[in-house]
Amino acid sequence: MEALVHTDPRFAVVGERPAVPPPPSSPATWGAPVGVTVEHVVKAFGETPALFDVSLRIAPGELVALLGPSGSGKTTLLRVLAGLEFPTGGRVLFGDDDALGLSVQDRHIGFVFQSYALFKSMRVFDNIAFGLRARPSRTRPSRSAIRDRVMRLLELVQLAGLEDRYPSQLSGGQRQRVALARALAIEPRVLLLDEPFGALDSKVRRELRRWLRELHEETGHTTVFVTHDQEEAIELADRIVVLNRGRIEQVGTPDEIYDRPASAFVAGFIGESTMLPTRLEDGRLFLDDRSLDIPVNGDDGPRTLVFRPHDVELVGDRPGAIAGRVVAERRHGASRRLDVEIGLRRHRVEVDVPAGYPQVDKGNRITFLPNRWWLFAA
């Protein structure tokens, strides 16, 4: 059994991935991708602060997820990166250049909205070509160059042949890909996606996730996307930034976030978790009146014990185990999930046992210990 005790919940990990140069034939890149640096950004809407002292560094070519519940500030942070909002304090750098001095038009980012925001009165072709045609005549490509580029992008997003359709004639997943192609057309330095798959049904969502990952491998843009779906973040991102109420709770790879959560919030938000209020006294951990067989160190005080429901071992009834009474049981995927009432205060927790395990009935007493757990200051 591993002992994990964390006392400092917040740290930003400096990215170490080497920049991946994009394949030369990709139509959507412009030189090498840039990194993004966020330093002590604060954003308040009137009296309500949405972001408190957020600092972050994103490596060039990285695919980063901003993950958190609603109200966590993740969309605000994304919009600050885009230039759709301006922070009340702090700095944002694209590479070495100050980004805050630029309007959204000049920042050269690609933004994909949750609702796609496609221009309904224009065909798919014109939507994608919009950014290119909007350039001042000095930098605007020729008509044939624009056409070329749009067609290659359509191929890239696997919508070739649909250039004359209108957005109303496309499915949700197709619209999403047009929105992406439109953002890629202007060769953005950074690609920003706001809950890109939020409005789609789950099957389409899963397909598009896979597809976005492949697209990212091929084009190599620095990409930041916002999601409230932790499964999505874990599946897609190189690194995840977990936000809660305007603050960064943790930054790390999916494995780090899942296996080494930095706070009770992260442990609770990622994956399933069971929490029990405990206290540390004289070097031992107590659940109500019972001392648990869990090695601890640190100062006395209340702690939250967190473990995954499936990461427990049923043990014999002995003083150091967590003991409780089963009040409900049901099938849960490949195992059985038990609702257990524990201790004097009857804390309700969920615990999984393998499906083939001998029948555990309602009303039975059950004793277990977690294989893997975390303790956080309560």
Stretch that binds other proteins, among 183-191, 262-270, 329-337, 364-372 (CB under 8 A): 183-191
- The CB-side HSE value for 320 (13 A sphere, CA atoms) comes to 8
Stretch that binds other proteins, among 8-16, 104-112, 224-232, 290-298 (CB under 8 A): 104-112
Tell me if 171 contacts other proteins by CB under 8 A: no
- Minimum distance from CB of 59 to other proteins (Å)? 22
Tell me if 84 contacts other proteins by CB under 8 A: yes
- Minimum distance from CB of 49 to other proteins (Å)? 18
Tell me if 100 contacts other proteins by CB under 8 A: yes
Taking the C-alpha atoms of residue 347 and residue 238, their distance in angstroms, rounded to an integer, is 37
Taking the C-alpha atoms of residue 173 and residue 218, their distance in angstroms, rounded to an integer, is 20
Q: Give the binding-site size for other proteins (rule: CB under 8 A).
A: 36
Query: With contact defined as beta carbons under 8 Å apart, do 305 and 375 qualify?
Result: yes
Tell me if 82 contacts other proteins by CB under 8 A: yes
Stretch that binds other proteins, among 13-21, 46-54, 119-127, 221-229 (CB under 8 A): 119-127
Neighbours of 7 (CB within 10 A): 9
- The CB-side HSE value for 328 (13 A sphere, CA atoms) comes to 7
Tell me if 104 contacts other proteins by CB under 8 A: yes
- Judged by beta carbon, residue 115 or residue 291, the one nearer other proteins is 115
- Judged by beta carbon, residue 99 or residue 338, the one nearer other proteins is 99
Stretch that binds other proteins, among 26-34, 53-61, 115-123, 152-160 (CB under 8 A): 115-123
Q: Which of 10, 11, 23, 134 binds other proteins (CB under 8 A)?
A: 134
- Minimum distance from CB of 53 to other proteins (Å)? 17
- Judged by beta carbon, residue 186 or residue 264, the one nearer other proteins is 186
- Minimum distance from CB of 169 to other proteins (Å)? 10
Site for other proteins in 141-170 (CB under 8 A): 167-168
Stretch that binds other proteins, among 13-21, 114-122, 268-276, 358-366 (CB under 8 A): 114-122
Is residue 9 classed exposed, middle or buried when 0-12, 13-18 and 19+ CB atoms within 10 A define those classes?
A: middle
Q: Which string of DSSP letters, residue by residue, matches 100-152?
A: TTS-TTTS-EEEE-TT----TTS-HHHHHHHHHHTS-TTTPPPHHHHHHHHHH
Neighbours of 311 (CB within 10 A): 16
- Judged by beta carbon, residue 20 or residue 84, the one nearer other proteins is 84
Query: With contact defined as beta carbons under 8 Å apart, do 88 and 73 qualify?
Result: no
- Judged by beta carbon, residue 224 or residue 287, the one nearer other proteins is 224
Tell me if 195 contacts other proteins by CB under 8 A: no
- Minimum distance from CB of 23 to other proteins (Å)? 24
Order of strands, sheet of 190-194, starting from the edge strand that comes earlier in the sequence: 109-112, 190-194, 222-227, 63-67, 239-244, 247-252
- Judged by beta carbon, residue 168 or residue 202, the one nearer other proteins is 168
Taking the C-alpha atoms of residue 29 and residue 266, their distance in angstroms, rounded to an integer, is 34
Tell me if 51 contacts other proteins by CB under 8 A: no
Taking the C-alpha atoms of residue 144 and residue 129, their distance in angstroms, rounded to an integer, is 11
Task: Read off the tokens for 98.
Answer: 């100050």
Please report how the helices 143-156 and 172-185 are oriented relative to each other, as an axis angle in degrees rounded to 10.
Answer: 140
Candidates 376, 64, 368; CA nearest to 190 is: 64
Tell me if 45 contacts other proteins by CB under 8 A: no
Taking the C-alpha atoms of residue 365 and residue 351, their distance in angstroms, rounded to an integer, is 13
List interacting residues with other proteins (CB under 8 A). Answer: 82-86, 91, 97-98, 100-106, 108-111, 113, 115, 117, 119-122, 130-131, 134-135, 167-168, 182-183, 185-186
